[in-house]
Amino acid sequence: MRSHVWMAVGLGVGLALGLVAALTQSPLLLALTQWLRPLGTLFLNLLSMVVIPLVGTALFAGVAGLGDLRRVGRLGMRTLGFFWGTTLAAIVIGFGVAALCLPFAAITPQQQAALRLAAAADSGFVRHAAEQIPTGARFIVELIPANPVRAAVDGNLLPFIVFTTIFAVAAAALPDDKRRTLTDLADVATQALIRIVHWVLLLAPLGIFAIVAGAVALFGVDLIKAMAVFILTVIAGLGLLIAIVYLPMVALVTRLGAWRYVQAVRASLLMAFSTTSPLSQSCSKPPSVTSASPAPWRASCSP
């Protein structure tokens, strides 16, 4: 079976085991699901391990590989316009779907406490990065990191991306022979990191199974019902975003059929949804889709 099918199997089996443990309150099953949780954390840590270096090398290779600073400027404006437009559409859709659906998922104070306790015990990359997000004027100031290495260590991805972009633009202005030395190194590093991601994804079914089983058994059936409404709300929002924003853009810009596009990215979508991993784009890079745009543009926009 294909990888995304195994991921779906892991998701379903983990959900079933967690529900049985929560309903029966069997000490053996509860102990088993909690024993599995470190395996899920290990899987997420393995994915998180390569986030910063992969984003850095791929972004640098894409921007520096453009060479001409005028091309960098044009690409930057188009990329920012695309991301701002799709982000605005996602925000509007998210607020609308949440306003309609989330009132059906009321969470009691006890359940909120359980969620906070689980989040506090989570040492994962996503939680740590979320804690580092600044607000207001501080957000603008910290876009330029005083120490890019510290930004990478702390999981502050946006300042790290800004530094990498500035560094790549400077490299693009170098003579071709010196620029190619840097871009060749970044290309090789990116390929090695993607190879690591593929190795890690071999563990995806087991990792997803462990994550889901532990979470369902820990939170119990009542909280799972509320979480199910939230998950269905997320799926509905994502479905609307894909249907009314991305698919029309794919059809207009790349001239690809909607079904062909969905078939090509379904493995990445399943990985992203089940692990909330920013590395899901490495899970599947079908030539039928990626060949629709120039290679440097793809490399600089993927991160």
pLDDT in tens, 224-270: 777 778 878 888 888 888 888 888 887 777 777 777 777 777 666 66
Rounded to an integer, the average pLDDT of 49-70 is: 82
**pLDDT-wise least confident of 10-19, 200-209, 260-269, 271-280:** 271-280
Query: pLDDT at position 201, please?
Result: 83
pLDDT at 288 over 50: no
pLDDT at 279 over 80: no
Residues in the chain: 303
User: Where on the phi/psi map is residue 293: left (φ > 0), alpha (ψ -120 to 50), or beta?
Assistant: beta
Closest-CA residue to 71 (of 170, 162, 166, 172) = 172
C-alpha angle with apex 54: 214 to 38, nearest 5 degrees? 15
Q: Give the Cα separation of 206 and 216 in Å (integer).
A: 16
- SS3 state at 296: helix
Portion of the chain with pLDDT greater than 90, in percent: 4
State the pTM of this model.
Answer: 0.66
pLDDT at 303 over 70: no
pLDDT (tens digit, 9 = 90+) per residue, 115-152?
666 555 555 555 555 555 555 566 677 778 888 888 88
Query: pLDDT at position 120, please?
Result: 56
**Which residues are CB-neighbours of 284 under 8 A, at least 6 positions away?**
264, 265, 266, 267, 268
Q: Give the Cα separation of 215 and 266 in Å (integer).
A: 24
Query: pLDDT at position 285, please?
Result: 47
Q: How confident is the model at residue 291 (pLDDT cuts 50, 70, 90)?
A: very low
Query: pLDDT at position 10, please?
Result: 85
Considering 20-24, 156-160, 187-191, the range whose residues carry the highest mean pLDDT is: 187-191
Average pLDDT, the chain: 76
Q: Half-sphere exposure of 89 toward its Cβ, with a 13 Å CA cutoff?
A: 16
303 secondary structure, DSSP code: -
Q: How confident is the model at residue 52 (pLDDT cuts 50, 70, 90)?
A: confident
Closest-CA residue to 132 (of 160, 97, 168) = 160
Instruction: Please report which residue ranges of 242-286 form alpha helices under DSSP H.
Output: 247-253, 258-275
Q: How confident is the model at residue 184 (pLDDT cuts 50, 70, 90)?
A: very high
pLDDT (tens digit, 9 = 90+) per residue, 63-113?
888 776 676 667 667 776 777 788 888 888 888 888 888 777 666 666 666
Query: pLDDT at position 117, please?
Result: 61
